[in-house]
Amino acid sequence: ASFKEADIEALLLILSHCGQQLRSDDPSALKEIVILVKDQAQKPRDDAEADSSRINFMLDTVMSLKNNKPGKQHAVIREKTNQLKKVVGRIKTAA
């Protein structure tokens, strides 16, 4: 079976939140994911449920992660994480 829209969205969501951590903690697992994603993306699709532009976007995201090229979304997540860390630090200090 090939990618469905839900598969693509789930994988993008997971990689956007923990892809860099996976890359640093277990590069071999990331490599396996990249191989599986490439194989799935190349399979012919019976239905038109999974939009090819979404698949291409997912492949670009996975390849950027593999090549350690963080995208704009990664910068936004990193900034939000830093803001939350500061808030937690202030709460700890005040307690």
Enter the tokens of residue 34: 């990249």
Cβ(68)–Cβ(31) below 8 Å: no
Given this model, what pLDDT does residue 21 score? 84
3-state secondary structure of 4: coil
Average of per-residue pLDDT across 72-94: 81
Q: With pLDDT > 70 as the criterion, what percentage of the chain qualifies?
A: 82
Q: pTM (2 decimals)?
A: 0.56
Angle at 58 between CA 53 and CA 63, to 5 degrees: 125
Angle at 24 between CA 23 and CA 27, to 5 degrees: 50
DSSP track, 5-63: HHHHHHHHHHHHHHHHHHHHH-HHHHHHHHHHHHHHHHSPPSSS-S-HHHHHHHHHHHH
pLDDT digits (tens, 9 = 90+) for 12-48: 788 777 887 888 888 898 888 888 888 887 776 655 5
